[in-house]
Amino acid sequence: MNLRANLGKVLSILAAIAAVAVVSISIWLNPPSENRARALDQKRLDGLKRTQSAICDYFKSHHALPADLKALDSDRNQPIQASWHDPETQQPLEYTVTGQDTYRLCATFDRSSDWQNSDDYGFKKHSAGRDCFDYTATRDKD
């Protein structure tokens, strides 16, 4: 009976050690801070996409670029302000009109992108820190 009790204790200890090892390895391979940084960067990418789309819609309507991002909110009668602000710092994206139909959007990312190819908007491939994307607005796309 004593042998069985000792064997049970040993197996319980081994199971606990294995569980701690699995959790430790999981955290080491995929740290929560890295997951948080990825999630925030994805929100930044989504905000850039929505902002870029709103700028294009504005350009189609007004045949001019908005003077600032606040104009996008009043133009749509529905605020997209959450899209053009950083999800962590709440600071607005950098928006600069660079020509009659060209503009630049900048955001600050926590980490460099993992992706090898960019999406249709060109936002997925980015560096850690401040990164900018240049665009030309067109009237002919519907």
Q: Are residues 125 and 66 in the same domain?
A: yes
> To which residue do tokens 């700028």 refer?
55
Q: Are residues 122 and 80 in the same domain?
A: yes
Q: What is the mean pLDDT of the chain?
A: 81
Q: Are residues 11 and 63 in the same domain?
A: no
Q: What is the pLDDT of residue 142?
A: 45
Question: How many domains does the chain fold into?
Answer: 2
Is 75's pLDDT higher than 80? no
CA distance 109 to 47: 12
Residue that wins the pLDDT comparison between 124 and 118: 124
Residue 43 lies in a domain: yes
**Range among 27-31, 89-93, 113-117 with highest mean pLDDT value:** 89-93
CA distance 139 to 142: 8
pLDDT tens readout for residues 1-49: 576 767 778 788 888 888 887 877 766 667 788 888 889 998 998 889 8
pTM summary value:
0.69
Q: Are residues 40 and 17 in the same domain?
A: no
Domain of 1 in residue numbering reads as 1-30
pLDDT tens readout for residues 38-71: 899 989 988 898 898 889 889 998 999 999 998 8
Using an 8 Å Cβ cutoff, are 37 and 108 in contact? no
Residue 93 lies in a domain: yes
